[in-house]
């Protein structure tokens, strides 16, 4: 049996580093394992990850974080989904909501009943059967009641957050240090490796300090000092599927009451994000430099802001893709060190979260068991590949013909896994669900339909229920959802009453 690990060193801070530190401190409490983190105040972070998806709530709950305390500390707002504007064609918009459409009944999924009813002439949009969508459209939000029952309309509802990523890292740092995590200030100058097995022995800082450990977690961002530079793990370049390779980020003052959703608006050679926080709007433009130069992209971003910029737009260069192995030797890469996927579906912090969760579920001994490492790498690769497919879906299925970029996107080669999903949905309305994906059936439904992919049929088992009975069930669900959404307070009112950072 392998000897247990006695010391973990996290290289890098930011969201990835402090999420890792806080989670390890909480989970490994009482084991005697020392957890240390090294970062330099002189090194900036990318810091544009201000939008999340619902599993972040599970992460915060695991850490014992109170929702109100967290939202106040991070200048947060609530998020019910992502609105896509002009993606299918100019003038089109749809919401990818959190939560479910209706509730399953009978032998098939809810949306199969909806498809069967639509075939009989019912033109009610699927979106009207989603509580999150109906609340978002009206700018409303309320946390689910504590006494909500499993079968109630609230059981179909879910939410995430927008927040200041820098404030979140600071919030987690305070918690992690209170639980014994030791922080070292300094730059990493070199990485020492074992000459026999290739493991990392120590990080050497510029002032000569050596930080030894049994396990190292690489949270050094795009620099990837351990997994990339020291261990030379290859990078899988996904540019052939996702051509955007630049982003410009800029804050502005708030523009009106904060909306309870993120907005992604298609532009000439990419798309623009809009993320409402309590104290500012986060804005940015993701674009392909082969279709627009940086100065033109900057002008396009500034021309589409709702308020005066609070700083000069910050340029971020990236190559979409991931490491061939997220875990090599005794180094696990978390966050940008392990890869980059543009923030179109707000997965950056989620992939940090799941990377940490998988490490904890497969926590090694000092021997770094190869089978454990291989399983980790398989699970991480499957998840990243699934998110990649979901992002490609947005681009490749557009119907725009107004710019070279969007015409090029329609020619993108589809990964075989994505092609299979589209073909199955188009033929029967069925959605492939495998390997505990990040995005569930309802997420795929929203984007497939939003991008104009219409099923040519539906599950024949939907007809096990008489049409009149099915219509009555759908009508009742529609009514309850509309009433519940309409009774919610506005998002702004909920924030002001219970979650304001101002006290």
Contact call for residues 337 and 228 (beta carbons, < 8 A): yes
Q: Are residues 323 and 466 in the same domain?
A: no
Whether residues 290 and 344 fall in one domain: no
The answer to pTM > 0.85 is yes
Among 266, 286, 317, give the residue marking a domain's end. 317
Query: Same structural domain for residues 214 and 346?
Result: yes
For residue 475, is it within any domain?
Answer: yes
Q: What average pLDDT does the segment 5-17 reach? A: 97
Residue 407 lies inside a defined structural domain of this protein: no
* Model pLDDT for residues 288-337, shown as the tens digit of each residue: 999 999 999 999 999 999 999 999 999 999 999 999 999 999 999 999 99
Task: Tell me whether residue 62 is in a domain.
Answer: yes
Same domain, 197 and 234: yes
Q: Is residue 403 part of a domain?
A: no
> Residue 130 carries which DSSP code?
B
By the 8 A CB rule, do 286 and 343 touch?
Answer: yes
What is the band of 44 on the pLDDT scale with cuts at 50, 70, 90?
A: low
**Tokens matching residue 147:** 């006494």
Looking at the predicted structure, is the pLDDT value of residue 224 above 70?
Answer: yes
- Does one domain contain both 444 and 481? yes
Binding-site positions for FAD: 13-16, 336
Task: Please tell me the distance from the alpha carbon of residue 225 to that of residue 13, in angstroms, as a whole number.
Answer: 13
Asked whether 141 and 494 are in contact (CB, 8 A), the reply is yes
The pLDDT value given to residue 502: 83
Does 343 have pLDDT greater than 70? yes
pLDDT at 435: 63
Per-residue b/e over 270-297, b at no fewer than 16 CB within 10 Å? bbbbbbbbbebbbbbbbbbeebbeeeeb
Helix 441-450 / helix 416-428 crossing angle, nearest 10 deg: 80
Domain range for 106: 102-157+414-492
The span from the CA of 200 to the CA of 230, in Å, is 8
pLDDT in tens, 20-35: 999 999 999 999 999 9
Do residue 149 and residue 177 come from a single domain?
no
Give the DSSP H or E segment for 73. helix 67-73
Q: Looking at the structure, tell me whether residues 60 and 129 fall in a common domain.
A: no
> Which one of 79, 90, 229, 479 is the catalytic residue?
79
Q: Measured between alpha carbons, how far is residue 37 from residues 122, 182, 186, 206, 215 in Å?
A: 58, 6, 10, 15, 12
pLDDT in tens, 166-204: 999 999 999 999 999 999 999 999 999 999 999 999 999
pLDDT value at residue 211: 98
Q: Is 81 part of a structural domain of the chain?
A: no
Q: Which two tokens stand for residue 330?
A: 């005794």
User: What is the arrangement of strands in the sheet containing 235-237, beginning at the earlier edge strand?
Assistant: 235-237, 321-323, 339-340
In a domain, 146, yes or no: yes
Do 310 and 324 fall into the same domain? no
Look at residue 231 and tell me whether its pLDDT is greater than 80. Answer: yes
Which pLDDT belongs to residue 45? Answer: 61
389 lies in some domain: no
46 pLDDT band, cuts 50/70/90, is low
Average pLDDT, stretch 343-366? 96
Q: Which of 384, 400, 425 is the last residue of a domain?
A: 384
CA distance 320 to 493: 39
Q: How many domains does the chain have?
A: 3
Q: Identify the helix (H) or strand (E) that includes residue 272.
A: strand 270-276
DSSP annotation of 397: T
For residue 149, what pLDDT is reported?
A: 82
| Digit-coded pLDDT (tens) for 77-107 | 999 999 999 999 999 999 999 999 999 998 9
Residue 333 and residue 211 share a domain? yes
**pLDDT tens string 357-411:** 999 999 999 999 999 999 999 999 999 999 999 999 999 999 999 999 999 999 9
Residues 51 and 121 in one domain: no
User: Do 231 and 326 belong together in one domain?
Assistant: yes
Please state, rounded to an integer, the average pLDDT across all residues of the chain.
95
Note whether 501 and 168 are within 8 A (CB): no
Specify the length of the chain in residues: 503
SS3 at position 36: strand
Show binding-site residues for 7-chloro-L-tryptophan: 79
**Is 405 part of a structural domain of the chain?**
no
Share of the chain above pLDDT 90, in %: 94
Tell me the pairing of strands 34-39 and 182-185: parallel
The answer to whether residue 229 is catalytic is no
Pair of tokens at residue 9 = 């060193």
Give the pLDDT confidence of 447-477 residue by residue, as tens digits.
999 999 999 999 999 999 999 999 999 999 9
Domain boundary among the residues 332, 366, 384 is at 384
Query: CA geometry: angle at 97 spanning 260 and 476, to 5°?
Result: 105
How much is the pLDDT for 26?
A: 97
**Domain CATH for 325:** 3.50.50.60
pLDDT tens digits for range 116-152: 999 999 999 999 999 999 999 999 999 999 888 888 9
Residue positions forming the annotated binding site: 13-16, 79, 336, 345
Examine the pLDDT at 341 and tell me if it is beyond 60.
yes
Residue list, annotated binding site for L-tryptophan: 345
Q: Are residues 323 and 310 in the same domain?
A: no
């Amino acid at each position: 049996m392998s000897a247990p690990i006695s010391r973990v060193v996290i290289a890098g801070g930011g969201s990835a580093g402090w999420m890792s530190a806080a989670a390890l401190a909480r989970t490994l409490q009482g084991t005697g394992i020392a957890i240390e983190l090294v970062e330099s105040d002189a090194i900036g972070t990318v810091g544009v990850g201000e939008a999340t998806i619902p599993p972040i709530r599970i992460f915060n709950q695991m850490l014992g974080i109170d929702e109100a305390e967290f939202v106040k500390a991070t200048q947060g707002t609530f998020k019910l989904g992502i609105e896509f504007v002009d993606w299918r064609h100019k003038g089109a918009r749809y919401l990818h909501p959190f939560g479910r459409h209706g509730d399953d009944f009978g032998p098939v999924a809810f949306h199969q009943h909806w498809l069967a009813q639509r075939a009989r002439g019912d033109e009610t949009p699927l979106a009207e059967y989603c509580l999150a969508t109906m609340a978002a459209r009206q700018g409303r939000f309320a946390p689910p009641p504590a006494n909500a029952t499993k079968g109630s309309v609230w059981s179909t509802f879910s939410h995430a957050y927008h927040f200041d990523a820098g404030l979140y890292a600071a919030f987690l740092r305070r918690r992690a240090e209170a639980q014994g995590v030791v922080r070292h200030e300094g730059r990493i100058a070199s990485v020492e490796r074992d000459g026999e097995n290739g493991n990392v022995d120590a990080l050497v800082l510029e002032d000569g300090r050596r930080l030894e450990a049994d396990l190292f977690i690489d949270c050094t961002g795009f620099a990837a000092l351990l997994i990339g530079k020291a261990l030379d793990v290859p990078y899988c370049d996904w540019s052939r599927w996702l051509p955007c390779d630049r982003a410009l980020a800029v804050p502005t003052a708030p523009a009106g009451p904060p909306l309870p959703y993120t907005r992604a608006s298609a532009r000439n050679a990419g798309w623009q994000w809009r993320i409402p926080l309590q104290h500012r709007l986060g804005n940015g433009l993701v674009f392909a430099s082969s279709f627009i130069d940086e100065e033109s992209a900057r002008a396009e971003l500034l021309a589409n802001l709702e308020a005066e910029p609070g700083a000069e737009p910050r340029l971020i260069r990236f190559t979409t893709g991931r490491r061939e192995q997220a875990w090599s030797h005794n180094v696990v890469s978390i966050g940008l060190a392990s890869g980059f996927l543009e923030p179109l579906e707000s997965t950056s912090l989620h992939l940090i979260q799941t990377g940490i969760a998988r490490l904890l579920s497969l926590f090694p001994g000092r021997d770094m068991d190869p089978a454990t490492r291989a399983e980790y790498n398989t699970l991480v690769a499957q998840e990243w590949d699934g998110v990649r497919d979901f992002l490609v879906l947005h681009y490749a299925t557009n119907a725009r013909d107004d710019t070279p970029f969007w015409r090029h996107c329609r020619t993108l080669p589809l990964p075989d896994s994505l092609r299979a999903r589209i073909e199955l949905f188009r033929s029967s309305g069925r959605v492939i669900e495998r390997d505990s994906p990040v995005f569930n059936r309802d997420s795929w439904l929203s984007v497939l339909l939003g991008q104009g992919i219409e099923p040519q049929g539906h599950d024949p088992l939907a007809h096990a229920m008489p049409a009149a009975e099915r219509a009555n069930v759908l009508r009742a669900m529609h009514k309850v959802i509309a009433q519940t959404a309409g009774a919610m307070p506005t998002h702004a009112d909920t924030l002001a009453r219970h979650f304001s950072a101002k006290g």
